[in-house]
Amino acid sequence: MEEAKISFAVQVGKVQIVDYARLPGKSSQNQNRTMLMGLIFGLGLGISIAFSLEFIDNTIKTVNDIERKNLTVLGIIPSIGEEQYQNKSIFSITSRKGKSNNSDRKLKRRLITREDPRSPVSEAYRSLRTSMLYSSSADKKIKSILVSSAGPGEGKTTTVANLAITYANLGKKTLLVDTDLRRPVIHKVLDLKKEPGITDYLSGSVSDFNNIIQNTEIENLSAVPSGIIPPNPSELIQLENILDGGSEWEYIMNVFVGDTIISSETAEIKVGNSLPLGKMPAGTQVHNIEMTLGKGGQIVRSAGGAARIQASEGRYTLLRLPSGEVRQVLNECRATVGQVGSIDHKNVKIGKAGRKRNMGWRPSVRGLAMAPNAHPHGGGEGQSSIGMPGPKTPWGKPALGRRTRGKKSSDRLISSRRYKK
């Protein structure tokens, strides 16, 4: 038996040699040529990408880029740096005691046309003034100048303040109006009181426009500060009222943040514009929506709020509100395009009670700490519970988990409620 196993193991299988192995030879690939071709192709690809980026880049970098758009360049203002202010500090008007901190110096250096009239920057502002004077004709003289930009920190305040000083130096009676209702600094630059200002006049708190005009230390230059910053500056600004009240002035300077805001039935569908709901396409985000024609905005006005137009059916427009409710609103009712600002307001944490007091909130006593005759939660000893299935208001009505809204005639306009019945 063992011999049979051994004979079976030593049997040779059906194996044949196909080819014999060969030693590796020298590679025929030329490394220098490969590197040269890769360098040429990489260089060509880089040049092509550079030309493509330059072709699709439509930003303005030089004066020639502006002139290609058939626009006239009135002037070029050099950058006013901190080093320039330090070198010219002998001309500073803020050398008084108590005014030497960095924030004041940063604001005061903006009036370079007064601090250093012979500097190149001051000469650039005077050249800008001369160009604007010659750009107006005798029959159509420029009486008001608006300085604006797309965002903050781009030099609106510096430009409008120094330009106003150059007009005042000509003996022209000039009025500088600060209508930057988000970050106003004109009153700090000119050492003026912030109130009363243009917001007081536009809101009706001050009826006479002359009562908000303040004189400055610069001859022939007066200014109107911003006043109290309102929660809805885009709706408060009405340039016609400003111009009508200041008709006696030779030049009126204004400074705005952002673009022009239009309220009209034919206005463009653009963020900030106000127009009837029936004029907007489906999918548009809106806020500050009228519920009754002519009554003004009533819903979707809180920070970060926005409703969306779903469709238009007959006389009504379907709106999906932030709560999820779908409501019908008349096509003639107005709304503002876009979303309310301060989107991150919901993420703000108060942090401590003192900050709450500074915001105008007074402390309130917990119902659990009151007497039983003062609040349904009152009574008991120590950290006892309220003693009822659910919390209640001071008047005994359920506070959570039960509807408190009664039936209204406008319920028929609600197509879909925010909660399930």
Are 113 and 243 within one domain? yes
Tell whether 191 and 290 lie within a shared domain: no
Number of domains in the chain: 2
CB count in 10 Å sphere of residue 242: 20
Residues 289 and 317 in one domain: yes
238 lies in the same domain as 304: no
Tell me whether residue 336 is in a domain.
Answer: yes
Which of 318, 343, 368 is the endpoint of a domain? 343
182: pLDDT strictly greater than 80: no
In angstroms, the Cα distances linking 121 to 24, 45, 158 are: 76, 43, 11
Residue 406 belongs to some domain of the structure = no
Distance of CA 365 to the CA centre of its chain: 39
Mean pLDDT of 380-395: 85
pTM of whole model > 0.85? no
> Rounded to an integer, what distance in angstroms lies between the CA atom of residue 131 and that of residue 241?
28
**Hey, which of 263-267, 275-279, 417-421 has the most confident mean pLDDT?**
275-279
Q: Higher pLDDT residue, 298 or 404?
A: 298
pLDDT surpassing 60 at residue 248: no
Arithmetic mean of pLDDT over the chain:
76
Beta bridge partners of 114: none
Residue 233 and residue 120 in one domain: yes
Whether residues 144 and 238 fall in one domain: yes
Give the torsion sign (CA, 368, 374, 376, 378). positive
The encoded tokens of residue 351 equal 């942090």
pLDDT band of residue 114 (cuts 50, 70, 90) is confident
Render pLDDT for 44-89 as a digit per residue (tens, 0 to 9).
Answer: 999 999 988 888 877 777 777 777 777 777 777 777 654 444 444 4
pLDDT above 60 for 237 = no
Is 225 among the domain residues? yes
Last residue of a domain, which of 306, 325, 343? 343
Give me the CATH number covering residue 92. Answer: 3.40.50.300
Q: Comparing 39-53, 106-120, 363-377, which segment has the lowest mean pLDDT?
A: 106-120
Amino acid identity of 100?
S
Tens of pLDDT along 31-48?
Answer: 788 888 899 999 999 999
Same domain for 155 and 224? yes
In a domain, 8, yes or no: no
Which residue pairs, CB below 8 angstroms and at least 24 apart, start in 278-281?
A: 278/312, 278/317, 278/331, 278/332, 280/309, 280/317, 280/335, 280/337, 281/309
299-334 pLDDT tens trace: 999 888 899 999 888 899 999 999 889 999 999 999
Strands 144-147, 289-290: parallel, antiparallel or unpaired by DSSP?
Answer: unpaired
Domain-ending residue, one of 220, 255, 290: 255
CA 362 – CA 359 distance, rounded (Å): 9
Phi, psi torsion values for 145, nearest 5 degrees: -130, 130
**Mean pLDDT, rounded, for 120-136:** 77
**What pLDDT is recorded for position 318?**
92
pLDDT at residue number 400 = 83
Q: Is residue 358 part of a domain?
A: no
189 shares a domain with 119: yes
Q: Which residue has the tokens 């903050």?
A: 152
Same domain, 186 and 298: no
Query: Are both 323 and 246 inside the same structural domain?
Result: no
Same domain, 207 and 122: yes
Q: Which domain holds residue 95?
A: 82-255
**Do 220 and 168 form a contact (C-beta atoms < 8 A)?**
yes
Q: How far is CA 228 from CA 158, 242, 259, in A?
A: 21, 17, 22
Which pLDDT does position 417 carry in this prediction?
83
Q: Six-digit token pair at 39?
A: 């360098």
CATH of the domain at 310: 2.30.30.30
Residues 153 and 210 reside in one and the same domain: yes
Residue 106 lies in a domain: yes
**Is residue 418 situated within a structural domain?**
no
**pLDDT tens per residue, range 399-418:** 887 777 778 888 888 888 87
Q: Is the pLDDT of residue 129 over 70?
A: yes
In the predicted structure, residue 253 carries a pLDDT above the cut 80: no
Q: Report the pLDDT value the prediction gives residue 287, as an integer from 0 to 100.
A: 92
Which has the closest alpha carbon to 252: 96, 141, 154? 141
Q: What is the 3-state secondary structure (H, E, C) of the chain?
A: CHHHHHHHHCCCCCCCCCCCCCCCCCCCCCHHHHHHHHHHHHHHHHHHHHHHHHHHCCCCCCHHHHHCCCCCCCCCCCCCCHHHHHHCHHHCCCCCCCCCCHHHHHHHCCCHHHHCCCCHHHHHHHHHHHHHHHCCCCCCCCCEEEECCCCCCCCHHHHHHHHHHHHHHCCCCEEEEECCCCCCCHHHHCCCCCCCCHHHHHCCCCCCHHHHCEECCCCCEEEECCCCCCCCHHHHCCHHHHHHHCCCCCEEEEECCCCCCCECCCCCCCCCCEEEHHHCCCCCEEECEECCCCCCEEECCCCCCCEEEEEEECCEEEEECCCCCEEEEECCCEEEECCCCCHHHHHCCCCCHHHHHHCCCCCCCCHHHCCCCCCCCCCCCCCCCCCCCCCECCCCCECCCCCCCCCCHHHHHEEECCCCC
Task: Evaluate whether residue 165 is within a structural domain.
Answer: yes
Q: Tell me the pLDDT band of 290, cut-offs 50, 70 and 90.
A: very high
| Surface-to-core class of residue 227, CB atoms within 10 Å of its CB (0-12 exposed, 13-18 middle, 19+ buried) | buried
Contact 258, 148 (CB under 8 A): yes
